[in-house]
Structure 1
Amino acid sequence: MAKVFNYISEAFTELKSNVSWSPWSEVQRYTIVVSIFSIVLALATWGVDSLFGEVLGKVYSWIRS
C-alpha cells in the first residue's frame, strides 16, 4: 500500500513542478472551439446519415416493386 501512496504522491509532485499548464483563458477558448466543432461535426454526420437512409430506403422500395 505504501508503494501506491508513494506513486500517487510523486505523480502529483510532478504535475505541480514539471508540467507547464496553459492559462485559464486559453483553456476556456479552446474548450469553446472544440465544443462548437463537435456539434457541427455531429450535425454533419446526422445529415449525411439521414440522407443515405432516405436514398437507401428509396432504392430498396424500388427493388421490391
Structure 2
Amino acid sequence: MFKKFVNYCKTCYDELAHKTTWPSYAELNHSAVIVLSASLVVAAVVFAMDSLFKWAMSMVYPG
C-alpha cells in the first residue's frame, strides 16, 4: 500500500516537473486581467438587476 502511494507521488512530481507546460508571465497576466474584467462585468450586471428588482418591489409594496 505504501509503495503504491510513493509511486503515485513520484508520478505526480514527474508530471508537474517535466510534462506540464506552464504559462509565461505575460500569458498569466493577460488571463488575470480577463478574469478580473469579467468578474467586474458580472458584478455590475448583478448590481443593476438587484437595483431594478428593489425599485420594482418598492412600487408594488410602497412604504
TM-score range, shorter chain: 0.7 to 0.9
Q: How much is the aligned-residue C-alpha RMSD, in angstroms?
A: 1.7
Structure 1 residue 4: deviation in Å?
3.5
Distance 1:60 1:8 in 2: 61
The share of aligned pairs that are identical, in percent, is 28
Pair 1:10 & 2:28 matched: no
Aligned residue for 1:21, secondary structure, equals coil
Render the CA deviation track for 1:12-65: whole Å, top value 9, x for unaligned. Answer: 21012222222221111110111111012111111111111111121123xxxx
Distance 1:7 1:27 in 2: 29
Q: For residue 25 of structure 1, what is the aligned residue in structure 2?
A: 26
Give the TM-score taking structure 1 as reference length: 0.71
Give aligned pairs, total: 61
Q: For residue 35 of structure 1, what is the aligned residue in structure 2?
A: 36
Structure 1 residue 3: deviation in Å?
4.0
Q: For residue 50 of structure 2, what is the aligned residue in structure 1?
A: 49
Runs of 4+ in 1 over 4 A off after TM superposition: none
Unmatched segments (≥5 aa) in structure 1: none
